[in-house]
Structure 1
């Protein structure tokens, strides 16, 4: 079992990383541990526990900016934002239950490090698009910072974009600054029933291409919808296609009516329709964002597959014979969540082969440790990108002490 350090300020983080760099001791960077099994398993001599770096350090609602220590729980940040009727527009999901941890265990630093975004990414952007700046310690044992409190405060390299999605392999973030936005006053979700995958994605594409400002577009096949909060509306055995609209009350009502009329005008989307309002709508989108269909199926390996929306149904059909296959779509069909029995190498070859035929990438989000050691967890890089990644790692962490091997074995 590895020893654990729990610094309570930036100076202690700097001291710990500088010592580890000098002694070439690998460190596993941990917030509250909610995503510890996301990525390749690590075997580090010591843990660097950042949960002691907690608390909001700056919040200016009028300036739409918030700074917090990297170990600050997302639940604390959400509570502060709700009091001011604001939010993190990229809708970060709480994946702790999905990974078998208590709800609410995620941190701001971990969310940014994994670049986690929810259904609203289709119109609000990803986590990295709301990441303004940070303070951090590199694997060289050097303190540095980048960015600031406004979106255009970037000179030289845009390091926030680089660290978002780096999974702690480049630097230990100690303080994070993000953009916040006003929370929508109202939301409604239009539901279409009974569409197959291809017809559903076509309906979602039509809605996203309309002038009605869609902020969520997902499709739940019958097997997934049956266990969701819309089951009471749809009825057992019925697929559900969900389209969300948000904003001021009168605007949402008018846009929702216009969208329903347009969808009912013809084609497969002229299926039965219904609406979810307020809390029921929020519950559905929270289930979609936080992978509720797979939370109740912890035995399944889960893949996150990103392809062009029109290709999503083809990939799902190609993989339909995988053992215990369960799937649904988000981001208008461009994000395919796929669960299957954890089969290891043969399954990975099938998934990556299906994705390669249409173009895209696949990440093994959840699987037993033995599987995550045996197969690539993240999309394999071509030679040019792999060489670039090695040079970046060399610049930030030449002795490979920060989460070594979390993304690929050699880094």
Structure 2
């Protein structure tokens, strides 16, 4: 969901809010006001019903508290947080993603009513909304997308091509009780991500017709909602979704939900500003966070192929001793010593077998691992058993400590900044609750 449930309830802020009267027209009822700006009951009810599908015990007031907190923080953030498209792995225009989630929310909550409205149309489909589908000539399409048959990794129209696309109607339609409108080729292009634009450039006529009907279907849902609940109420729900995007971006900027290796411009800057004294203090206080395995004592079994490796594994699973199995089956030079590798130090120069030993838990033979040999070398398989581990900590002056400590300190500072922003947003506005949810 757009609000993301990231903030604790603001009951303390809302407890002293006074009641105000709201309009009684359908969809125009007010749930709360923030510095005089309304939060519509329609928005609250839509999000409450949607979230209750996953959490039936969710209280309506908790959703209202969340909406208010998200709106406060989004307003406070201003331009501090970049726009994001949650869940999108490639670039969609932010306003397109907001509209898609708005329509999805309306469909999820009011799907039966919307289906009834569709069935009330001639032919019981939205196809009756289409007035015309003008043909697009190949020269016209070539002028916009270039000549067909050329290999393209992506498509990005120039300003001139976008202008031509804006003059090319894909279809014309009329919403119930509305004026004729059109979906242009630019409208379709603008709503696509990278893959969609590439598909559009390769099969412009068919892809454009399909996507134009999706645009009309979305327009019908939004038209239905505005007719039933009012344009201002629907705009309020859209704003909550957009505010949620801003808050998610703001969280990411401040490292909420991220691990220490994840970055943002703010985290990267704060990490670079951490001093050696801060790192040392953090290290002394949180030395357990820098624990490592200093030494391991290990044995191994080396065999020529995977079949022999599986036989060795079965023998071990049936209770054979690891050293005895190594003496009987290993082809390594230390087989007579039961495959004893001795003690391996973390500070020493480790080959791949030593690295494998450091990656294994003690007391349990590893799965057979194929050695990373060259193309002209004979392959072989290794099974490793770590018998003992000696634990220690990365030294203070190591690059590991410098990097990890600076990232964790940066996360602490960023999250503190976000907490301060949340507290300031609570203290600087007047919140009025218009009802008792």
TM-score calculated relative to the size of structure 1: 0.24
Structure with greater proportional helix content? 2
Q: Which of 1 and 2 has greater Rg?
A: 2
More contact order relative to length (CA 8 Å, sep ≥ 6): 2
